[in-house]
Structure 1
């Protein structure tokens, strides 16, 4: 319990005072913890709109892609994985309504997440498995960012992007993942209303 010195007080008063201090400290600690785990409502999560956040995800995607390219023996998969098409015609993309763009990106993220899990189940290399776990975690974080920006969620987890294609290796999977983040995801986030500077 520690050594405490209470000058000029009876031992009973000292014990009561110590217990009061302990309770106060406990409530203070709980208050601080709740402040970290339960953000106040109405506080905008503008830091997620910082371009450096998305750039970090893209850098980690590239790092994983480059690392796996050096491990060719761990890249072949026994089945095709369906992935979203990543090439973007910017003029056509700009002409799409925001709801269509959100659905396309969210469906693509969902399909990539499923593919990462499927690949993880087939890969035996520990290093490659760790890369897949990292990018899968990042995909979930990006989905949370979209949710924090009040973008409507797609109606079903089975929703598919409008166009898909098949790959059969981990390095191809990670290349598509990188390109999807650099393309449609970054375009969607950069255009989001919540990411635009407030007018004075």
Structure 2
């Protein structure tokens, strides 16, 4: 799939002497710009759906507030935990919302978000962070 191919390519670009750097992978500007573009595209497509009903059970999402200075001061282990926990929280929230959204258009967007976030989570879980 195209998202999987991009992740594999990005992963291969960050392999150094047999070691991968997940922190650099996550912070790669090209990957960030790709995901921002995909998020805007999904938001646009979701906006074209008929009015979506409110969820009967609210979903908890990761915080999106970010301070580059604070991020740089954190250890790689702390960064790893935060990234994996936030991605897992997002994947879980989307899975929960999928069970509540029956409208085809909204369900399609949630499915796409779930696939992308879950693929990225699984990729980051597969290699060591140093």
Q: Same fold (TM over 0.5)?
A: yes
Match of 1:77 among 43, 50, 55: 55
Say which structure is richer in strand: 1
1:61 and 2:12 correspond: no
Q: What residue ranges of structure 1 are gaps of 5+ in the alignment?
A: 1-44, 152-192, 194-200
Residue 99 of structure 1, aligned match among 74, 77, 80: 77
Deviations 1:178-198 (A, max 9, x none): xxxxxxxxxxxxxxx7xxxxx
Q: Deviations over 1:35-90 (max 9, x none)?
A: xxxxxxxxxx4247475444333322221122223336215211211111111111
Is the counterpart of residue 46 in structure 1 residue 46 in structure 2? no
Q: Could you tell me the TM-score, scaled by structure 1's length? A: 0.48
Q: Which residue matches 1:22?
A: none
Which residue of the partner structure matches residue 105 of structure 2?
127
Deviations 1:110-160 (A, max 9, x none): 011011111111112111111111111111221233235523xxxxxxxxx
Higher alpha-carbon Rg:
1
Count of residues paired in the alignment: 109
Computed over aligned residues only, the root mean square deviation of the Cα atoms, in angstroms, reads 2.5
Structure 2 portions without partners, runs of 5+: 1-10, 15-24
Aligned residues of 1:57 and 1:138 also touching (Cα < 8 A):
no
Conservation of the 8 A alpha-carbon contact between 2:49 and 2:105: no
For 1:85 and 1:51, locate their aligned partners in 2 and report how far apart those are by CA, in whole Å.
20
Q: Distance in 1 between matches of 2:53 and 2:70?
A: 34
- Kept after mapping to 2: 8 A contact 1:123/1:129: yes
Q: Pick from 93, 96, 115 the counterpart of residue 137 of structure 1.
A: 115
SS in 1 for 2:55: strand
